Structure 1
Amino acid sequence: MEYPIGIQDFEKLRKGNYVYVDKTNLIYKMVKEGSYYFLSRPRRFGKSLLISTLEVYFRGRKEFFEGLRIMELETEWAEYPVLHLDLNTEKYSSGVDLENKLDLFLKQCEAKYGKNPDEYSLATRFEGVIRRAAEKTGRNTVILVDEYDKPLLQAIGNEALQDDYRNTLKAFYGALKSMDRYIKFALLTGVTKFGKVSVFSDLNNLRDISMLKAYESICGITEEELYSVFEEDIRALGKANNMTEEETKAELKEKYDGYHFNEECVDIYNPFSILNTFANRKFDRYWFATGTPTFLVELMKGCKYDLKKLANEYASVDSLSGLETIKKDPVSILYQSGYLTIKGYDREFGIYSLGFPNKEVEEGFVESLLPNYTGMNNSESKFEIMNFVREIRTGDTDAFMKRLQSFFADTPYELVRDLELHYQNVMFILFKLLGFYTQAEYHTSEGRIDMVVKTHDYIYVMEFKLDGTAEEAMRQIESKDYPLPFECEGRKLVKLGVNFSNEKRNVERWVVSFQ
């Protein structure tokens, strides 16, 4: 079986006999039930392939759909003029980049459908092309926009440039409303949705299907699709990794499943990771490796985000659909870009609970946090975590604590804007990273942190004080009998009291007691 890794062109996919998870019944449903759509999905989730499939469909290329579900549904196969704008191919680092991209797109359209010299702006030229395409062919125009938000995301750290891009796109996309009588169908896709006060404020006829139950699986792979389309691949993957079929399915689910785009969504697997796993016969972090969340981490640091909320975050329905408040709260963009997903829903209050979708995302994201919060580079942080784990496993508590001291000592002063929050954030990152290799439980309250870490031979009960004493921390462990639930487990108990000093900006002292 050939895997279409990196292939986003539907014709190429079908000509090359690549595996295709059939979504054409949902495409038919979209076309017959409405005219204007918006779809948000994380990167590498199949948005570009969806756009390409629609383009081939609207060009009436029936031969590319042989054997697919749409053949049982569609009877007309009419050809329409298609205007396909892909905004994913520019860096958008200066004010003219977006204008140049749109100008090139319009020139290509005008070469085919004609030009009016009186159309002086990008928006009026777009209106003219839409109208002339319909008049010239006798059929209304189809408009497909891939990654509509790429310019806005690229300029997310530059407020003036983002405002410039927003105003340009707002006027440009406004042509979809003014030219309604000439438009057959329109779909805009992207990672994010910029809400009511942004690029869509004048375009209120778009139907947002991003969180609708009917279209939840239009991108991505459901478990049913995984088991039916990739049945032989699952067995081959298991054989290559000395795993049973059930073990292979469980590993695929743990690593790549878990995306939910509404409160009742079936589990959606990451298609990019699934295809790469089958092609390479190896489990790895394929999706995460294609893009680092650096700008997200900078946003979290800038708004003093408490990282422990990542394990159990909450958001309202409205807050997930827009990005206008990301400088105060990064949750909406963490969700829309695929680092958090819906885990539950409180209908009474309209509140979603959020968390990491799967192990690939959780491990990759948390590992990316450490160098950003400690000043280490990626290779240093991986080496330090490896040593942390080894020291915990061998009971070398002093080495573990000295390494923790080095974490804080190496942190540049300018990274620490709130000492207590920084202290708790670094401890959370460390706890999560240890948890990938050991059993770890972590709790916080005002002025203190406690942690339980279990390895094959040891159980660590740790109490962390802020501007107290290590002895106070140890007394609390003993007076509240923290080790009691673990005394019958047959492992060595290690009690560890630690004090963190604001003045020293580091771990001041620790005391250890073995039981």
Structure 2
Amino acid sequence: MKPIERRKYPYGIQVFSIIRKENYLYVDKTEYVYRMTHSDNRYMFLNRPRRFGKSLLTDTLHCYFEGRKELFEGLAIERLETEWTSYPVLHFDMSTAKNLSKEGLERELDRKLFAYEKIYGREEKDIEINQRLQGLIERAFQQTGKGVVILIDEYDAPLLDVMHEDENLPVLRNVMRNFYSPLKACGQYLRYVFLTGITKFSQLSIFSELNNIENISMDTSYAAVCGITEEEMRTQMDADTVWLAERMGTTKEDALQQLKTYYDGYHFAWPSPDVYNPFSLMAAFSKGKIESYWFGSGTPTYLIEMLDKYQVIPQEISGRKCEASDFDAPTERMTDITPLFYQSGYLTIKNYSAFSGLYLLDIPNREVRIGLMRSLLPNYVRRPAELNTLVGEMAECIHFGDMDGALRLMQTVLSTVPYCENTRYEGHYQQMLYLIFTLLGSFADVEVRTPQGRVDVVMRTHDTLYIIEVKLDKDAGEAMRQIDLKQYPERFALCGLPVVKVGVSFDSGRHTLSGWVIE
């Protein structure tokens, strides 16, 4: 049998022309491009998490509006488009304007404008950045006789890292608001305006005067405009999945299930098909193995800072509910971190109730769950890297049903790891167990309600359900007696797995386990 040939995968490549000219895999999204550019509204906004295909979509629009028909041969749009008109395109990628001062941001905007002024010229009277952008639009229209296309990718990038800062956010926001202000005044010269970002545009109050932007972010007809769906996996990427399965030494269906567990589970509308993270998916195919690629590519520091600001503990991140209006709350008046976590890709829509109007948000997949927990470990131990070996060895013990061995490992390692301050309360150790058990790849939950009370930690593996009660500076036998007294196992009698009771005691002085009982 002839071996399956490996294709080229666009891992981190966001330039449409390169993907098409150099024969990289391209999952066809051009039907969406046609629909977007032939709708009633000429102003559109899309928010998606970082590295989720926004830049590739924007660059695809750029190539389309330049009339580069040859790049679209064999794609869906080829049978839809008949004119292929070339328009002047002003494309601004704001990802290069991160972590800048007011002066640095103004210099970066000056550089971007200058690149187009070399093409369309500049009037002496155009001094401020808004005047220069307006002049560019007017001259591009006059010189070509065609409506101007404005593409702004990651419009909010200059502001993301200062969203929690009362001093810097208003200053940088005013710069960006001034820059974007001509978009309304120049309406008669514009063919199409498309903006992408992570945060919804209304939250940052940048486009307060531009009230005709159509937000397609939660529109069901555009739910899969970025990312890769199950159907696309099984059709356009079927041969690639077979190749990956051979590389991993498994079956095609098993490879699909592993990919689904790690990278699937996103929904940006309801109803919506399941959407895979495209960055992680292409990385997995490119490297021939499943690992944490999206989360490993960088966790924005502002998210961890916002977790601290809103005092969100690990087990409170998932299973959150919110109304549609919550996504519109201006950033400086936000009272809940939920919308920000959703927009950043750490939570996604899992259900919606038409009766209550509430969305249920949860962590999308294993990659994000484990990555989040790992990023939170520094809040519990000062040298979290020392727990990596512990997690691996504990995972092996628990896989083979050796909870005693796992707890002995935890006791030994935790006794050598310096702890953070403020650890003299039971909840700290409960949260730390939740983090460690989640990093093991097991399902873990805390404060699980039963008819008689709440179980500190419930952990489910492939073949066992563990009920774990935590005590601080008390005997482990007391934890076991509480499990028995409140009849916690009865709550899980129908789970289909054998139930193991575990009473654990922590010593606040030594910052490690002092004892445990397993039944």
TM-score (norm 1): 0.89
Q: Which residue of 1 aligns with 2:286?
A: 279
Alignment pair present for 1:433 and 2:442: no
Q: Which residue of 2 aligns with 1:93?
A: 100
Q: Residues 443 and 449 of structure 1 are in contact (CA less than 8 Å); yes or no, is this contact kept in structure 2?
A: yes
Deviation at 1:329, TM superposition (A): 2.3
Find out whether 1:399 has 2:419 as its counterpart: no
Q: For residues 431 and 328 of structure 1, do their structure 2 counterparts lie closer, same or farther at Cα, with a shift above 3 Å needed?
A: farther
Corresponding position of 2:254: 247
> Map of 1:78-157 to 2, 5 A cutoff?
78-157=85-164
Post-superposition shift, 1:361? 1.3
Change (3 A) 1:54 1:473: same
Q: CA offset at residue 6 of structure 1? A: 2.2
Deviates more, 1:284-293 or 1:144-153: 284-293
On the 8 A contact 1:450/1:463 being kept in 2, the answer is yes
Task: Report which stretch shifted further, 293-302 or 398-407.
Answer: 398-407
- Between 379-388 and 303-312, the greater mean CA deviation after superposition: 379-388
Cα offset, 1:496, TM superposition = 1.4
Determine if contact 1:297/1:372 at 8 Å carries over to the other structure: no
Q: Is the 8 A contact 1:419 1:505 kept in 2?
A: no
Task: Give 1:468 deviation, angstroms.
Answer: 7.0
The partner residue of 1:20 within 23, 26, 32 is: 26
1:238 paired to 2:245? yes
**Deviation readout 1:424-443 (Å, 9 max, x if unpaired):** 43233133234x15x65543
Q: 1:420-477 CA distances to partner (integer Å, 9 max, x unpaired)?
A: 654443233133234x15x655435799752345679987543224687655433222
Most deviating of 155-164 and 217-226: 155-164
| Contiguous gaps of at least 5 residues in structure 2 | 1-6
- C-alpha distance in 2, partners of 1:403/1:321? 48
TM-score (norm 2): 0.88
Cα RMSD (Å) of the superposition?
A: 3.1
1:11 corresponds to which residue?
A: 17
Is this contact kept in 1: 2:455–2:467, CA < 8 A?
no
Q: Secondary structure at the match of 2:163?
A: coil
CA–CA distance in 2 between the matches of 1:369 and 1:405?
16
Aligned counterpart for 2:37 among listed residues 28, 31, 56 = 31
Q: CA deviation at 1:89?
A: 1.9
Aligned to 1:411: 419
- Asked if structure 1 preserves the Cα contact closer than 8 Å seen for 2:430 and 2:456, the reply is no
Who is 2:76 aligned against?
A: 69
Distance 1:72 1:185, change over 3 A: same
Structure 1: gaps spanning 5 or more residues = none
Residues 107 and 447 of structure 1, relative CA distance in 2, 3 Å threshold: farther
Give the secondary structure class of the aligned counterpart of 2:315: helix
2:271 corresponds in structure 1 to 264
Contact kept in structure 2, 1:456 and 1:491, CA below 8 Å: no
Query: How many pairs are equivalent?
Result: 506
Q: Is the 8 A contact 1:173 1:203 kept in 2?
A: no
Identity %: 40
Higher mean displacement: 112-121 or 26-35: 112-121
Following the alignment from structure 1 to structure 2, what is the Cα–Cα distance between the partners of residues 388 and 293? 29
Going from structure 1 to structure 2, the CA distance change for 1:89 and 1:472 (only over 3 Å counts) comes to same
Distance 1:424-1:298 versus aligned 2 partners, 3 A rule = farther
Give the Cα separation in 1 of the matches to 2:109 and 2:64: 24
Secondary structure of residue in 1 paired with 2:350 = strand
Q: Give 1:362 deviation, angstroms.
A: 1.3
Q: State the match for 2:313 in structure 1.
A: 306
- The answer to whether the 8 Å contact 2:390/2:409 transfers is no
- Cα distance in 2, alignment partners of residues 97 and 260 from structure 1: 36
Shift of the 98–488 alpha-carbon distance from structure 1 to 2, 3 Å rule, reads closer
Looking at structure 2, the residues matched to 92 and 403 of structure 1 have their Cα atoms a distance apart, in angstroms, of: 41
1:90 Cα deviation from its structure 2 partner: 3.5
Report the counterpart of residue 373 of structure 1 in structure 2: 380
Contact 2:474 2:505 in 1 (8 A): no
Q: Once the 2 structures are TM-superposed, how far is the Cα of residue 186 of structure 1 from its aligned partner?
A: 0.5
Q: Tell me the equivalent position of 2:456.
A: 450
| SS of residue paired to 2:432 | helix
User: Retained in 1: the 8 A contact 2:321–2:358?
Assistant: yes
2:352 pairs with 1:345 = yes
Hey, what does 1:195 align to over in structure 2? 202
